[in-house]
Amino acid sequence: MNESNESNPGIIINLNSNYSNFQFDIFTIPVLLAIVPFIYIIPTCFVIFRIIQVYIVKGLRNNDEMVNKSVFLVIILSQLSCLCFFLSDFLIIRLPSTGILTTWCQQQPENHFLAMLFTTQIYFSYALMIYPVLLTIVRITPIQLPHRHREINSKILAYGIPFVHIYPLFFIFFMVPALGVCRQFKKPYPFGSAFIHFYGSWHDFKNAPFEMINTVFWLITYLLCNFKLHQKLHYLKVNSQCHQNQSARYRRAEISLTLTSVSMILTYIVNLAFQGTFLIDYNLMTYSSFFRPYGNDLETCVVPWVFYLTHPAFQKRQGSIMSSSHQRATRT
C-alpha cells in the first residue's frame, strides 16, 4: 500500500518509517507558494465583506433600487462558498505540501478525519458549479416577468439555495467508508511534501469522473442560460422604449452583472483542466497541482473584485455627495 505506481497517486506517509526522521524546512518553494495566496485573498475577503455590508444596508434596510437583493444574495453565497473551497483546498494541498504536517501524518494511522477534509473540498467544488447558473436564472426573471420578479425570485431562491447544497451529497456518498491518508507528492516536489487523499471508498469509486461529468453538464447549462439572457437583453435594447429611458446607473449595473457572470466561467475552465490531467495521468496531476490552486484563486478573487469595482451600488452618487456638501454648508 505504500508503493507508488501508475494507478497510485503517491506513497502513503501514514505510519511509514521512511518519514520518521523527517525535518520540516521553512525555506522551501512549497512554503513560499503556500504563503503567497494570502497577499490577494485577504484583500478579497474585505471586498466580500463590503458586498455583504452593501447588501444589508442598501438592499435589506433601504431598498435601494440599484441593489437587486436576489442577485446580491447569490453572489454573496457563491463567494462564501469560494472562500470555503479555498480553505479546504489549502488544508489538503497547500499546507501539507510545505511539509509542516508530514511528521504528524507519519504518526497517525489512516483515519476518517482526513477523508472528511478531502470530502469537504469536493463538496464545495460542486456548489461552485451551480451558483453561476443560479445567478443567471435570477437575472433572467426580471426580464421575463418584470411585474412578478421579486415574488418569483424569492421562490427560486427558496428552492435553489437548498438544492445547491444538497446536490453535492449525491456525488460524495462513496466517501462514507473511505479512509484519509497523507501521500507524498511526486517530483519535482521535495521529499516530505504531502497532500491529503483517500483510499477504500465504496466500490473504489474516484471523484474525478463524477466531477468531470458535472463540470461539463453545468458548463453547458451555464452557457445556454447566458445565451438566453443576452438574447433577451439585446431584444430589450433594440425594441424597448423602457430600456432606452433607463438611467446610466442602471445600465452600468447590467454591465457589471454581465462581467461578473462571465468571470464565473473560470470555475469550469479550471475544473476541466485539472480533472482532465488527473484522468489522463497521475504524473500530469503533480505538475498541474502547481497551477490549479492559482486557477481557483483567480475565480475566487476576480468575481468579487469585478463586481465591486464596476457595480454602481458601491459608488457614491454624485448628487448625494453634492447634497450632503450643501447641507453642511447651510449648517455653518
Query: pLDDT, tens digit, for every residue of 107-119?
Result: 999 999 999 999 9
Q: Tell me what percent of the residues of the chain surpass a pLDDT of 90.
A: 53
Cα 71 to its chain centre, rounded Å, is 16
Domains in the chain, number: 1
Q: Report the pLDDT value the prediction gives residue 330, as an integer from 0 to 100.
A: 41
Q: Say yes or no to pLDDT of 319 above 80.
A: no
Q: Is residue 206 over pLDDT 50?
A: yes
Q: Alpha helices, DSSP H only, in the chain?
A: 29-35, 38-54, 69-89, 95-97, 102-107, 112-144, 149-166, 207-239, 241-244, 248-263, 266-280, 282-310, 318-331
Whether residue 253 lies inside any domain: the answer is yes
Classify 245 as helix, strand or coil.
Answer: coil
| Residue 271 structural domain | 17-314
Task: Using pLDDT thresholds of 50, 70 and 90, give the confidence band for residue 149.
Answer: confident
Please check whether residue 289 lies inside any domain of the structure. yes
Who has greater pLDDT, 73 or 230?
Answer: 73
d(CA 252, CA 311): 7
The dihedral over CA atoms of 82, 86, 87, 93, expressed in degrees to the nearest 10, equals 150
Higher pLDDT, 177 or 264: 177
For the ranges 50-59, 73-82, 285-294, the lowest mean pLDDT is seen at 285-294
Residue 251 lies in a domain: yes
CA dist., res. 142 & res. 233, Å (int)? 11
Q: Residue 330 in contact with residue 70, Cβ under 8 Å?
A: no
The most confident of the ranges 43-47, 205-209, 235-239, 278-282 is: 43-47
Mean pLDDT value of segment 41-70: 92
Task: With respect to residue 39, please indicate whether it lies within any of the assigned structural domains.
Answer: yes
pLDDT surpassing 70 at residue 33? yes
On whether residue 295 sits in a domain, the answer given is yes
Lowest mean pLDDT segment, chosen from 146-150, 195-199, 270-274: 270-274
- Say yes or no to pLDDT of 86 above 60: yes
Task: Tell me which of 243 and 196 has the higher pLDDT.
Answer: 196
Residue 318, pLDDT > 70, answer: no
Residue 274 lies in a domain: yes
Tell me the pLDDT tens digit for each residue of 220-250: 999 999 888 888 777 766 665 555 555 566 6
pLDDT digits 0-9 by tens, 270-300: 778 777 776 666 666 666 666 777 777 887 8
Residues forming a β-bridge with 183: 12, 195
Between residues 285 and 128, the one the model is more confident about: 128
Average pLDDT, the chain: 84
Nearest to 263 by CA among 321, 302, 300, 291: 302
Is it the case that residue 32 has pLDDT exceeding 50?
A: yes
Considering the domain boundaries, does residue 1 fall inside one? no
Residue 319 resides in a domain:
no
The rounded percent of the chain whose pLDDT value lies above 70 is 84
CATH for 63: 1.20.1070.10
* Residue 30, preceding peptide bond in cis (omega within 30° of 0): no
Cell representation of residue 139: 437575472
187: left (phi over 0), alpha (psi -120 to 50) or beta: beta
Number of residues that make up the chain: 332
